Amino acid sequence: MLEVDGLRTGYRGRPAVFDASLSVAEGEIVALVGHNGAGKTTTLKSVVGLLPAWQGGVRFREEDISRSRAADNVRRGLCFLPEDDFVFTDLTVEDNLTLARFGVGSQGRASRDADAVRAEIFEVLPVLRERSKQRAGTLSGGERRMLSIGMALAAEPRMLLVDEPSLGLAPVLVERVMDLLAELVRRKGLSVLMVEQNVDQALRIADRCYVMRAGRIVMEESAARLAARDQWWDLF
């Protein structure tokens, strides 16, 4: 589904990621873990097209997307969920979902297509149905995370790049978000590449894991084998 080969990128001429290579298969959940500042978010941003690759290649579903813009990648089915939950706070949950699917000006308009898309999202995220008429700015942190995931689903992605889905959530909600990601993979056949500080939770749902340190991927391991190791955090 996704192949990243020798990616090098950074900010204002200073590299933050050196020669990163990774892959994600169809229906696979892959975690990218490592210390603060290791280059995990930078890798995701470059893969999705928000930060240009200086060197190396990115292929998505057999297509070279190394120079593609993020908006074009969304149309290809590659969606990025940033850690800061981008939602339109003044709009209702329902209108946020419509906007994410059909663009500016679509909100508030009735259409059979919009209804069908929302119904499908409500099926996997029932909390959004309960809150559909509520303004997004008044949602709790957990509900807002669910809306942000729902908005990504509105684009009917094949693959989600998720940055720290557990950030700022209570432990019980972290589990719920992780279970939801695993369920999306099961039900919709999505692939997931996830950056996560909560390694225990990430390993619970992931198939494989890459460890990143100082801008380099230093290890690849199956999640089960990594979880079984004593003191795996020494690897960081």
Which residues bind to ligand ATP, rule: CB under 6 A? 11, 16, 34, 36-42, 197
Q: How far is the CB of 97 from ligand ATP (least distance, A)?
A: 27
Q: How far is the CB of 147 from ligand ATP (least distance, A)?
A: 22
CB neighbour class for 112 (10 Å; exposed up to 12, middle 13-18, buried from 19): exposed
Q: How far is the CB of 93 from ligand ATP (least distance, A)?
A: 28
**Residue 223 CB partners (closer than 8 Å, separation 6+):** 31, 202, 203, 206, 207, 208, 209
86 vs 88 by CB, closer to ligand ATP: 86
Q: What is the helix (H) or strand (E) element at residue 81, kind and residue range?
A: strand 78-81
42 vs 191 by CB, closer to ligand ATP: 42
C-beta atoms surrounding 223 within 10 Å: 19
Q: How far is the CB of 68 from ligand ATP (least distance, A)?
A: 20
Q: How far is the CB of 15 from ligand ATP (least distance, A)?
A: 9
34 vs 49 by CB, closer to ligand ATP: 34
36 vs 231 by CB, closer to ligand ATP: 36
155 vs 235 by CB, closer to ligand ATP: 235
User: CA 217, CA 202: separation in Å to the nearest integer?
Assistant: 17
The string of DSSP letters for 1-68 reads: -EEEEEEEEEETTEEEEEEEEEEE-TT-EEEEEESTTSSHHHHHHHHHTSS--SEEEEEETTEE-TT-
